[in-house]
Amino acid sequence: MEERVSHIAYLSLGSNVGDRLENLRQAMQLFCGEGIALRCTSSIYEAEPVDNTNQDWFFNCVAEVGTTLEPLALLHKLQQIEAQLGRQRTIPKGPRTLDIDILLYGDVVLESEELALPHPRMLQRRFVLEPLREIAPTLRLPRTAKTIGQAFNELRDPAQVRLLIKSLCA
């Protein structure tokens, strides 16, 4: 029997439609099993929308997971979960019940039509770096010697992000 290797990945979750907190909780329950194991979650933050600002504020968090899925298989699984929880991709950068992005997948660097790793905009987003720094401040970014904590300290994103619910994990 072939042994499956588990990889550590960091996922960003966001919701600004419906019961935002429940959407995040359901998503984390749904990605447990089927090749994904939840290891840790950040606190939940409330953040103002960034690109399309004419919408409600988001609840955001970051989850550390162990996965036996390869990056594209993980992406497809997360997209299934988004759809299962009512995600509709009608307005680009618009309101959504759930948005899950793969921020990091081990030390993998990937550029494809479907997925770029590390996530190309993560270092510009306070709503991503603040919760990621909470659970992995010394994690080193692929292609650089910079840590998440250092990247956060260099961040120039003026968007408002406020702590909502403190994590028991962090």
By annotation, the residues acting in catalysis are 87, 96, 99, 101
Residue written as token pair 């650089």: 144
Residue 65 pairs in a beta bridge with 9, 38
